[in-house]
Amino acid sequence: MAFGLSLPGGQITLSILSILMTFVLIYFFWIERMSHFTIKLGLSLIIAGAFGNLVDRILAGKVVDFLHIKIGSYWEWYIFNIADTSVSIGMVFFIIHSIYFQEKISEKVMEITAGKGVTVAYDGVGKDTFKGSIACLKPRGMMASFGNASGPLDPVNVPKDIQSKSLFLTRPTIGHYFTNRDELQKGADEIFEKVKFGKIKIKIFKEYKLADAKQAHKDLESRRLLGPAILIP
């Protein structure tokens, strides 16, 4: 039992949970494969530890813990093994990343623009990034908020967030920009023309056959897609 832990249902419950968590961690590693090396290293160690304990449960029916740190009668730690150590070190790398490598987007933007900021910020995440996107703007810049992926926006402090740099804030809705067929056709023509001449470059993440449209929707809903996907007739 890892760190001397036990659950109702015994080894069967722990084995099932270990298998599920191992697959979850591997999936998370795939999602974060382009992240900072501390994230990838931390996840690798956690996956290795989880897999090591899983192998023990399958082959031996239990996890063999053999390391026990104890200082006389004053202090002692849970009994653990190398796999548990790997998981713990992996978590340490996550903590290190959050303290030393979690870079603020606004600081990076200001560094790239020599402290000037950007003219327009497009924010589709919402609650978690709205303040940071505002901080990236130059005076008289435009903030375009168009999504709530992380949750609804908190109330906007106009004097602090907007007036401080004379910013413009908009929350566009597509229905207000394409109110009839002519406007829709004109907008579509402009977009496809820019794509045709390379002014807008689209990197397709995955292609599906038209018959697999149902699977494409499932992948989209479960966030397996890390970029645009298209259906091929």
Q: How does strand 118-123 pair with strand 137-145?
A: parallel
**Residue 130 burial (CB count, 10 A):** 21
pLDDT at 101: 59
Active-site positions?
65, 84
Going residue by residue through the chain, which has 233 residues, state the pLDDT in tens, using 9 for 90 and above. 344 444 455 556 666 766 777 777 777 666 665 566 777 788 788 887 777 777 776 676 666 666 666 776 766 666 667 777 788 888 888 787 767 655 578 888 998 999 999 999 999 888 888 988 999 999 999 999 998 877 888 899 999 999 999 999 999 998 898 999 999 999 999 999 999 999 988 888 899 999 999 999 988 888 788 788 999 99
Q: In 3-state terms, what secondary structure has residue 167?
A: coil
User: How far apart, in whole angstroms, are the C-alpha atoms of residue 146 and residue 25?
Assistant: 31
pLDDT at 147: 86
Paired tokens of 160: 């602090």
Q: What are the backbone dihedrals phi and psi of residue 17, each rounded to the nearest 5 degrees, phi first?
A: -65, -40
pTM: 0.49
What one-character DSSP code corresponds to residue 143? E
The residue to which tokens 């933007």 are assigned: 109
Distance of CA 49 to the CA centre of its chain: 22
Nearest to 136 by CA among 148, 120, 124, 147: 120
- Residue 211 has a pLDDT of 92
Tell me the Ramachandran region of residue 194: left when phi exceeds 0, alpha when psi lies from -120 to 50, beta otherwise.
alpha
**pLDDT reported for residue 30:** 67
Assigned superfamily of 105-170? NAD(P)-binding Rossmann-like Domain (3.40.50.720)
- The H or E element containing residue 120 is strand 118-123
Residue 139 φ then ψ, to 5°: -55, 140
Q: For position 212, what pLDDT does the model report?
A: 93
User: Domain spans of the chain?
Assistant: 2-101, 105-170, 202-232
CA distance 141 to 144: 10
